Amino acid sequence: MQRLREIDILRGFAIFIMVIANYSPYFTDNPPVFLRLVYTFAAPLFISITGFMMIKNKTEKNYNHSYFLSRGISIITIGCLIDLLIYRIYPFFSFDVLYLIGACTLIFPILFNFWNKLKLWSIIIIFLLTILIQLKFSYDPNFIEYSVFTNQEINFLLIFNKVFLDGFFPIFPWSGIFMLGFALYEEKYKTMITKNIHFLTILFLVFSFLLVNSPKYIREGYAELFYPPDYLFILWAIALIFLSFSLIHKINNFLFLDPFFKYLELIGKSSLFFYIFHLAAAEYIFSKMIETKILEKNFIGLLISYISTLIVMLVIGLIFEKLKKNKLPKIVKFFIGS
């Protein structure tokens, strides 16, 4: 299906950007603002595409509540294992992207009903609640983590703050960005977006200028421009997502871009695996190479690690394509895509 190819390309592009964004903290403390803007592309695209696929599966395959329950628990479990095994910290305090996606999957039936009743107003309500919450409560940019090897007292009440306010991907506003994928699934909104590509381009450029000139925190080296995810970021993310879906619909058949798009499609099909893979590579391979002076802690070191990872991902992706021709266990298909 052409539509699915476009989705795989966009999801692959999100991973393509996510790798360098998540490697950056190991190599530089303060990347240039242009790179910070580029890093910011990955998460809104990845999360909205997940929302798109959720509503697609619900509508076309009629998955029941138990499917979303089991899938949500599985994704959250992977998020916990990443915290425990890769970062060696107690789960949930980061409230990173898999926690957000897992939570949205768990409550998908509620979000789906909310969408069916209110359509775009459901997303607007979430974004307005975000602004109210941020006005009422102070955003804490400090990342509070507890090592699994620590003896210090753990304040589990902080998890509540991280889930709703100042985790890496709090429910507000990111559940609204997840639901933007619902709008992109509906033909009337997709047609409206495609027809207004020039207007979206202008909006995106204006909001990009405003975003790079607004004060944003760098959290533990992570330099995306959504700390905090305020109203300006929300407007920028809406423009980015709608423009990206509109553009890929127009340019995915450009022959000179085809090799790059095939690469993005390849890694996009196995996005969960490559998400886990690149986090493990950063923490257990490249950070050790920096410590032992094999890699320099600078932009050149970042590029070397990034390009080498992209090459390895290509090889793994090609292997996965061959594996997918065979009958695979469900758990394998869950991790490498089907």
Tens digit of each residue's pLDDT (9 = 90 or more) over 188-199 = 888 889 889 999
What is residue 299's predicted lDDT score, i.e. its pLDDT?
A: 97
Top-ranked range on mean pLDDT: pick from 11-25, 152-166, 243-257 = 11-25
- What is the reported pLDDT for 189? 87
Give 69-127 pLDDT, tens digit per residue: 999 999 999 999 999 999 999 999 999 999 999 999 999 999 999 999 999 999 999 99
Q: How far apart are CA 288 and CA 308, in angstroms?
A: 15
The arithmetic mean of pLDDT across residues 34-59, rounded, is 97
Question: 81 and 187 share a domain?
Answer: yes
61, pLDDT greater than 50: yes
153 in a structural domain: yes
User: What distance in Å separates the CA atoms of residue 198 and residue 288, rounded to the nearest whole number?
Assistant: 46
Q: pLDDT value at position 4?
A: 85
Q: Judging by beta carbons within 10 Å of its beta carbon (0-12, 13-18, 19+), is residue 139 exposed, middle or buried?
A: middle
Q: Which of the four pLDDT bands, split at 50, 70 and 90, describes residue 245? A: very high
Range of the domain at 258: 1-29+253-338
Instruction: Report how far residue 139's alpha carbon sits from residue 184's, in angstroms, rounded to the nearest whole number.
Output: 30
Mean pLDDT of the chain: 95
pTM: 0.96
Same domain flag for 19 and 146 = no
Task: Determine the pLDDT at residue 7.
Answer: 95
Co-location of 154 and 272 in the same domain: no
Are the C-beta atoms of residues 228 and 217 closer than 8 Å to each other?
Answer: yes
Would you say residue 254 has pLDDT above 90?
Answer: no
Instruction: Give the residue-averaged pLDDT of 262-290.
Output: 98
The model's confidence at residue 280, banded by pLDDT at 50, 70 and 90, is very high
Distances (CA, A) of 303 to 41, 297, 300, 310: 18, 11, 5, 10
Return the pLDDT at 3.
52
pLDDT for 1? 39
- Say if 260 falls within a structural domain: yes
pLDDT at 2 over 80: no
> In this structure, are 125 and 257 located in the same domain?
no
Query: Residue for token digits 């989705």?
Result: 7
**Pick from 21, 30, 24, 34: nearest CA to 218:** 30
Question: 167 and 304 share a domain?
Answer: no
Domain boundary among 155, 183, 200: 200
- pLDDT recorded at residue 110: 96
CA separation for the pair 173, 130 (Å, rounded): 5
The pLDDT, as a whole number, for residue 250 is 86
pLDDT bracket for residue 255 (50, 70, 90): confident
189-197, long-range: CB < 8 A, 24+ apart? 189/120, 190/245, 193/242, 193/245, 193/246, 194/246, 194/249, 194/250, 196/246, 197/243, 197/246, 197/247, 197/250
| Burial of 64 from C-beta contacts in 10 A (0-12 / 13-18 / 19+) | exposed
Domain contains 215: no
Does a structural domain hold residue 39?
no
